[in-house]
Structure 1
Amino acid sequence: MSEDAQKLAKAIAKIAQKDGEYPILQSHMRLYRSSDPSRPMPCMYFFGLGITASGRKDIMIGNTVYPMQPGQVMLPPADLPVITSVTHATPDQPYLGLWIDLDIRLMGELAIEIPAPKPAPGDELSCVNVITLDSGINDAVIRLLELHETPELATHLLPVIQREITIRLLHGPLGACLRHHLAQESPIQRITRILSWLRENFTQDITAANLATRANMSGSTFRQHFKSVTGISPLQYLKQIRLLEARQLMLNDRVDAGSAAFHVGYESASQFSREYTRMFGAPPIRDIRRLRETVHSASEISTQSEIIPARHTI
């Protein structure tokens, strides 16, 4: 483990003293601790920065697995359904990680102001990026964590440090990819707009052809770019966000399975149950019961912060 990762792990462990999820700084940052490996968990990643400080975690996007080791950073380009699992963690050396929300509008404004760095030889644009944490970002993240102890300063310093992190990202090895992502008519930007639209309209009757027309692309071009960004087909993406939303409704709003299925756009309760079981490893009632027991146990041992089931975990 690098010295930077060790410093970050120590700062996270100071707040996250028990296993669970810790939203801090008005939930702009979330900390994660696990003393044991975990089973694969489907969830959503949104535009932000995920960092592994200790332990190891696998993140599957589409059919590709990204192993996250201490000191590594992931920056998803869009709202992505993923499957995560902690692969290395013990009580003495737990998995410790964090997530920071990024403001895409701020990044777009700064990308105009900041000269683009020259691409290094061999640089390639990739829709999912895993890089080594650099000292500048690491120090800024630690300063964010320290704001947890001084809430009276957090309101004023949080946006300043978030801005610093964004500037460092634009100057770093991800700068070229981020600028390509932010370009208004780039394929990635078009797909990103479709993903945002799907997040708001997933209950509608949607076809891949409709989405291609909305993106102003041919069907084959749309499918190619959509899969390059998300790792899956448009209809697979739609199914996964429907199932994730149904799970949240059942867990947080105590909606029954049939009502949740109808609410997210399913017409067949049996089809919903089959696809839910395939994705989460258990039928809806059993899965939600298991989740509630896990959340209840985590809440009993946590004395540091509110622990809630995550829509994204890193």
Structure 2
Amino acid sequence: MIDDVRNHASSATAALKSLEQRLLKIAGTAGDFSTLVPALSIHRRDAVTDPVPCIYELGLTVTVTGAKKVLVGTEVFDNNPGQGLLASVDLPVVSYVTRASDADPYLGLVIRLDSSLVLKVAAGLSIGRAPRNIGFAALSQDRLDSGLLGTVDRLVALTDEPKLAPSVAPLIEQEIIARLLLSPHGPLFMKLNASDSPSRHVAQTMAWLKQHFMESISIEALADIAHMSPSTFRQHFKAVTGLSPLKYLKQLRLQEARQLMLNQHVDAGAAGLQVGYESVSQFSREYARLFGEPPLRDIRRLRTVETGAG
């Protein structure tokens, strides 16, 4: 028994070291890197960072070296090497790197998951509903075992095999989902998929809102989509996301506006109007409240960081 534990620990350490070497080849400098595998992105920081509001999409975040802290409402997650954070819905969080240097950078990766594929894999595994007494957690953290780390390592390895990646990556992604469903994350993950669960109705409403956040919509209309009364909807929505529906909507709009300005060079006024704001001044005020700086100054700082000056 003790030998089995030691062997698993040794295998996990080896997989983590292999991941570190692969990530260093992809991320030779600080920054965010897309890969040949569309669902996979690599992230490196060479210094600690300030807290940054962002959206964690449905998916798995893995810390390989260094450390980061993630805040969801009042809950705090300290993510260390070998630990994974599983977001079961698209979730506004505050994230920042707490341990990193030039000599020992923060290295992490994100694997985005497809909700329909999660349901398909769960059906194939004959996984039933989570017990009713298990509460829903939109973000869960656990140390990844050697099997899951090894599977993640094989997915990253495909970035060196462009001819093989399109065919093999989806198979490895399915294996990752299967291992997550059978891990300690599983019961919480499956809680979302119970058709009669309030959490499921909230998640479906969030998915709808992600596609229509630029439209003018009332709490009453969102509650109708979730088949709940407005007061019940507010209660369950906050239990899932840690935010009120209005604050969640604001974060979706502001995050999208930030990406429009950063990646498509849309000016601040146009970005605010494009994501649903009727007033440019209101957009600027709420943007500065969330990100700590007015739009133009924030985007200028982000571009400086991307070029390596940060």
- Same fold by TM-score greater than 0.5: yes
Query: 2: CA distance between counterparts of 1:144 and 1:16?
Result: 16
- Render the CA deviation track for 1:103-126: whole Å, top value 9, x for unaligned: 211110121221338989x96543
2:77 paired with 1:66? yes
- Give the aligned residue type for 1:156: S
Write the letter of the residue equivalent to 1:159. P
| Residue 42 (1) aligns with residue 53 (2) | yes
Q: RMSD across aligned C-alpha pairs, in angstroms?
A: 2.2
- Preserved contact between residue 82 and residue 144 of structure 2 (Cα < 8 Å): yes
2:168 maps to amino acid? L
Q: 1:307: which partner in 2? A: none
1:78 maps to which of 89, 105, 121: 89
The answer to whether residue 202 in structure 2 is matched with residue 167 in structure 1 is no
1:109 aligns with one of 108, 112, 120: 120
Partner of 2:4: none
1:16 has 2:20 as partner: no
Percent same amino acid among aligned pairs? 43
- 1:14 Cα deviation from its structure 2 partner: 2.8
2-structure distance, mates of 1:132, 1:118: 23
Aligned to 2:3: none
Partner Cα distance (1:92, 1:255) in 2: 37
For 1:116-127, list aligned pairs within 5 A. Answer: 116=127, 125-127=136-138
Residue aligning to 1:255: 266
| Alignment partner, residue 280 of structure 1 | 291
| Alignment partners' CA distance in 2, 1:96 and 1:157 | 24
Deviations 1:127-184 (A, max 9, x none): 3210111111100111111111111111221111111111111111122222221223
Is the Cα contact below 8 Å between 1:128 and 1:229 reproduced in 2?
no
Q: Is the 8 A contact 1:227 1:233 kept in 2?
A: yes
Find the aligned partners of 1:206 and 1:60 in 2 and give their Cα distance.
28
Distance in 1, Cα, partners of 2:139 & 2:278:
34
> Does 1:135 pair with 2:108?
no
TM-score, normalised via structure 1 length:
0.88
Report deviation, 1:64: 2.1
In structure 1, how many angstroms separate the alpha carbons of the residues matched to 2:102 and 2:305?
18
1:25 shift after superposition: 2.4
Q: Which amino acid aligns with 1:198?
A: L
CA distance in 1, matches of 2:198, 2:274: 31
| Alignment match of 2:165 (pick from 154, 160, 169) | 154
Which residue identity lines up with residue 195 of structure 1 in the other structure?
M
1:37 counterpart SS class: coil
* Matched-pair contact (CA < 8 Å) for 2:70–2:93: yes
Partner of 1:309: none
> CA-to-partner distance for each residue in 1:44-63, whole Å, 9 max, x for gaps?
11111110111111112223
User: Which ranges in structure 1 are unaligned for 5 or more consecutive residues?
Assistant: 302-314
Match of 1:222 among 226, 230, 233: 233
Match of 2:63 in 1: 52
1:177 aligns with 2:155: no
**SS at the partner of 1:265?**
coil
Q: CA deviation at 1:23?
A: 0.9
Taking the aligned partners of 1:193 and 1:143, their CA distance within structure 2 comes to: 32
Structure 2: any 5+ residue segments left out of the alignment? 1-8
Secondary structure at 1:213's aligned position in 2? helix
Q: Provide closer, same or farther for how the CA distance between residues 241 and 119 of structure 1 changes in structure 2, counting only shifts above 3 A.
A: closer
Matched residue type, 1:207: S
Tell me the secondary structure at the aligned position of residue 90 of structure 1. Answer: coil
Counterpart-to-counterpart distance in 2, 1:123 and 1:228: 13
SS in 2 for 1:182: coil
C-alpha contact (below 8 Å) 1:117/1:171 kept by paired residues: no
